[in-house]
Chains A and B, each alone.
Chain A
């Protein structure tokens, strides 16, 4: 296992970062991935257990899936311990984990003044944003 002295100390400002750039990025990327994995897996597990306790027919259509996206359905589902609400939240968290990883990388490279990689990771983030915009306006 590699050393992660800087990240493990925690920090609140640029001046506290004393390790090399590679250590900082590796440590922070690791934390984001781990958090995403633990949170989403826990929520999925809750959802699956709830669904198995009350087995029901689940439609496979896209229309049914899209109906679950509404905030009211989602919040109402949580209030009723609806398994779909837990699974939906887990899915959203899972999808957002790589986005968070890219954002954290941009931040770490910025704090460590590695401009080249702020640009590289920034381009990746822009393409991701572009995808969402195209999806929303072009494919909905």
Chain B
């Protein structure tokens, strides 16, 4: 690899976009960066996955600090769910060192498709529930009550403080375990799964889910990064522009996320996930079965 200005600028530019979108959606950006590095720059997927995992920490620092400052993040909930995600990340990272590239891509594609469908199906619910004050009218489960997981934040788009009670904690932490596995296995922060778990199954509003996930993905990615680091897969020449770009993008994204309506965020999430899913599926099929699907731009 020749370290040229164009290589750095392309990586930096795509990472800024990934960081920006990641901040809006509570994801690390790895799901956007890995395909770019693999499909556009033809970097080995394990180097790309490792770089994206480290960049997830960068975007988590940038986005997480801003959402913590704005009190959108639910710190207690984040710390509780981190138990499940870190254990999951450890399991996934071990698997990633032994799986074939095409299999990782196929899994990546399936995961993205699932995320996209989930986001599309629940696109209208959030804004309606905030307007009706539904998030505060729920009964917490025992664990949620014991750990005082309830929270609140000020929603700039709805122009009101949104109080919410966390429900379904055991089930939600189970899903977050698989989010951790996805992080370690596929090089993504598992952020979308965490956002979906909190929003769809734990009665946490979309924006609070995004802010909480943004903080959590840093710890999950950190666990995976340690493994990749010792395996010699974290190529810091690749990591540098990616981490810088995601930091810049995430900082910009956190400035506007709270001003947007949840339905917009969910539309965006669904579209991007399905598009990326197709790209990764096409790549996996070409690599393993020599089946060539049409390119979508």
What residues make up the interface of A, taking CB atoms closer than 8 Å to B? Answer: 1-2, 22, 25-26, 29-30, 33-34, 36-37, 40-41, 44-45, 47-48, 51-52, 55-60, 62-63, 65-66, 68-69, 83-84, 87-88, 90-91, 94-95, 97-99, 101-102, 105, 116-117, 120-121, 123-124, 127-128, 130-132, 134-136, 139-140
Contact check, B237 vs A51: say whether CB atoms are below 8 A apart.
Answer: yes
Contact check, A98 vs B222: say whether CB atoms are below 8 A apart.
Answer: yes
The answer to whether residues A63 and B232 also contact, given A95-B222, A97-B218 and a CB cut-off of 8 A, is: yes
Q: Which residue on chain A has the smallest CB distance to residue B86?
A: A127
Is B117 positioned at the interface, with any CB of A under 8 Å from its CB?
Answer: no
The answer to whether residues A30 and B94 also contact, given A60-B44, A60-B47, A117-B79 and a CB cut-off of 8 A, is: no
Q: How far is the CA of A68 from the CA of B147 in the complex (A)?
A: 44
Is B291 positioned at the interface, with any CB of A under 8 Å from its CB?
Answer: no
Distance in angstroms from A134 CB to nearest chain B CB is 7
The answer to whether residues A62 and B2 also contact, given A25-B75, A87-B237, A98-B222 and a CB cut-off of 8 A, is: no
Please provide the chain B residues from 73 to 101 with a CB less than 8 Å away from any CB of chain A in the complex: 75-76, 79-80, 82-83, 86-87, 89-90, 93-94, 97
* Binding stretch for chain A, among B61-69, B106-114, B128-136: B61-69
Q: B interface, by DSSP: helix, strand, loop or mixed?
A: helix
Q: Which residue on chain B has the smallest CB distance to residue A37?
A: B61
* Most chain A C-beta atoms within 10 Å of own C-beta, residue among B4, B47, B60: B60
Q: How far is the CA of A128 from the CA of B80 in the complex (A)?
A: 15
Interface size class of B (residues with CB under 8 A): 35 or more
Is B43 positioned at the interface, with any CB of A under 8 Å from its CB?
Answer: yes
Contact check, A44 vs B240: say whether CB atoms are below 8 A apart.
Answer: yes
Is B296 positioned at the interface, with any CB of A under 8 Å from its CB?
Answer: no
CB-contact partner of A139 in B44, B54, B94, B239, under 8 A: B94
Q: Which residue on chain B has the smallest CB distance to residue A41?
A: B247
The answer to whether residues A124 and B83 also contact, given A2-B69, A26-B68 and a CB cut-off of 8 A, is: yes
Distance in angstroms from B69 CB to nearest chain A CB is 5
Contact check, A33 vs B65: say whether CB atoms are below 8 A apart.
Answer: yes
CB-contact partner of B230 in A56, A88, A102, A136, under 8 A: A136
Contact check, B233 vs A22: say whether CB atoms are below 8 A apart.
Answer: no
Distance in angstroms from B219 CB to nearest chain A CB is 5
Q: How far is the CA of A52 from the CA of B3 in the complex (A)?
A: 7
Q: Which residue on chain B has the smallest CB distance to residue A88?
A: B236
CB-contact partner of B219 in A91, A101, A116, A130, under 8 A: A101
Is B5 positioned at the interface, with any CB of A under 8 Å from its CB?
Answer: yes
List B contacts of A1 (CB < 8 A). 69-70
Q: How far is the CA of A26 from the CA of B70 in the complex (A)?
A: 10
Distance in angstroms from B220 CB to nearest chain A CB is 9
Q: How far is the CA of A135 from the CA of B96 in the complex (A)?
A: 13
List A contacts of B218 (CB < 8 A). 33, 97-98, 101
List A contacts of B244 (CB < 8 A). 41, 44-45, 48
CB-contact partner of B79 in A63, A66, A121, under 8 A: A121
Contact check, A127 vs B65: say whether CB atoms are below 8 A apart.
Answer: no
Contact check, B57 vs A97: say whether CB atoms are below 8 A apart.
Answer: yes
Q: How far is the CA of A16 from the CA of B5 in the complex (A)?
A: 51
Contact check, A135 vs B226: say whether CB atoms are below 8 A apart.
Answer: yes
Convert B198-236 into 0s and 1s, putting 1 for each residue whose CB lies closer than 8 angstroms to a CB of A.
000000000000000001001101110111011111111
